[in-house]
Amino acid sequence: MSERTEIRGARHWRTGEPVDVTIEGGVIANVRPAGAKATTSGAIVEAAEAILAPGLVDIHVHLREPGQSSSETVESGAAAAAAGGFTAVACMPNTSPVVDNPGWIAWLLARARGVRCRVHPIAAVTVGQAGEQLTEFVSLEAAGAVALSDDGRPIQSAETMRRALEYARHTRLPILCHEEDLTLRGQGQMNEGATATRLGLRGIPNAAETVMVRRDLDLVELTGGRVHFCHLSCEGSFGAVRDAKRRGLEVTAETCPHYWTLTDEALIDFDTHAKMNPPLRSERDRDATIEAIGDGTIDCFATDHAPHTLEDKRQPFDQAPFGIVGLETALGLTITQLVKPGCLTLERALELWTEAPRRVLGLPEVRLEPSFPADLVLLDPHASWTVDPERFRSLGRNTPFGGWTLTGRALATWCGGVLTHMVPGLGAEGRHARPAGAGAR
């Protein structure tokens, strides 16, 4: 890709200094103080002091392929990612069929060629995610899997989990754990507590998550294996991880924007768009989430982007599937709910969406320096916008944030130097940006 782009007058996400950046051949060619002389061939983007940062990375998305392309496709999910400022995503294997062999990893990588975001497949831990027979970790890694997970269908047998952790030590792959004891979840539909009682819905106790977090911490201690905890949602889980880290265990954890933004009160109108798993918890858990982000118990952010068709979500509450989309609201919810109230600096918030998830999965580094891949996002942390699910690039419209006014959004995204997203107006208001269309890997 020999496309050349000049980004002028952006603010460096770390130093805050105004910079001009040249992208050429898919990489950052140079970064210099704004206003320095440069050639003017190729596209020019006047950044008008918007922040330039490495592209966001989401290590927990559901792209629904193979098998459920009415909910999302690799292509539509990648377009949603680009619109949200993301340049890389890792996709979960709980598809139909399950991504549990090297053939499906190769299929996904082929499917992801030319889409608007880098796609890193995650492979199942057990065949068919049935929780019994382990998959071929070594050949899955060789085929390009970046992690292992039975997300959506957590491994109930401690013995199977022990063997998985031991086997995974022969690879560099972490096991991404969706922590849930299915016997404690039972027929639960939402967080157990006063709101569930008021609505007459069956509850899911915090313990459904915490007993599994504690089990797997014990198994990490036993095996020396490597675990990353997905979408942690409650006080007890954060406490257990905090304590484990203090004891020197090498574990990592993520949480998602909905857990620092909403509580189970969001379900008061039986809104299936707020039905998710783990469920939205209490105000106390929401506070604990923000505390765990602040003190480093949480290593990175992720969206758990889980698109469903409206038809599926319009079913009666107890039959509607769990999950919400997240790629196109993640940055706005981060800035609105964490940065604006002063819980987190913008720089730290961006770290948790960029360098931190790359570290968790061992993905190559992206720095705002010459010769690094031009995987970049130009973002306006002050832009106010209204969430309109009808305008999502994702096929999923299932969000509880429709109609919300958020602060902060991605103005433009480049993946491997290719422009993958630009808000209308940025190129039009006398600013000369030429959209390069799709095609990045």
Q: Does 163 bind Zn ion (CB under 5 A)?
A: no
Tell me, yes or no, if 304 is annotated catalytic. yes
Q: Does 153 bind Zn ion (CB under 5 A)?
A: no
Residue 207 main-chain phi, psi, to 5 deg = -60, -25
- CA nearest neighbour of 30 among 362, 368, 400: 368
Nearest distance, CB of residue 178 and Zn ion, angstroms: 4
Burial of residue 23 (CB within 10 Å: 0-12, 13-18, 19+) is buried
How many residues line the site for Zn ion (CB under 5 A)?
A: 2
The residue range among 39-47, 178-186, 236-244, 267-275 that interacts with Zn ion, by the rule CB under 5 A, is 178-186
**Reading across the β-sheet that carries 227-229, which strands appear in turn?**
56-61, 86-91, 118-123, 147-149, 175-177, 227-229, 251-255, 300-301
Number of residue whose CB is nearest Zn ion: 178
Among 111, 118, 163, 178, binds Zn ion (CB under 5 A): 178
**Torsion-angle region of 423 (φ positive above 0: left; ψ -120 to 50: alpha; else: beta):** beta
Q: Does 150 bind Zn ion (CB under 5 A)?
A: no
* Choice between 19 and 213, CB closer to Zn ion: 213
* Choice between 178 and 185, CB closer to Zn ion: 178
Nearest distance, CB of residue 304 and Zn ion, angstroms: 6
Nearest distance, CB of residue 254 and Zn ion, angstroms: 10
Nearest distance, CB of residue 152 and Zn ion, angstroms: 5
* Annotated catalytic residue within 58, 100, 304, 380: 304
* Choice between 305 and 409, CB closer to Zn ion: 305
* Choice between 232 and 368, CB closer to Zn ion: 232
Helices (H), 169-306: 182-185, 194-199, 207-223, 235-246, 257-261, 283-294
- C-alpha to C-alpha distance for 86 and 409, rounded to whole angstroms: 11
Among 151, 285, 312, 375, binds Zn ion (CB under 5 A): 151
* Choice between 178 and 421, CB closer to Zn ion: 178
First vs last C-alpha separation in the chain: 10
Pairing of β 190-191 and β 251-255: unpaired
Helix axes 235-246, 207-223, angle to 10 degrees: 20
The residue range among 7-15, 125-133, 148-156, 198-206 that interacts with Zn ion, by the rule CB under 5 A, is 148-156
Nearest distance, CB of residue 62 and Zn ion, angstroms: 9
Residues that bind Zn ion (CB under 5 A): 151, 178
By annotation, the residues acting in catalysis are 304
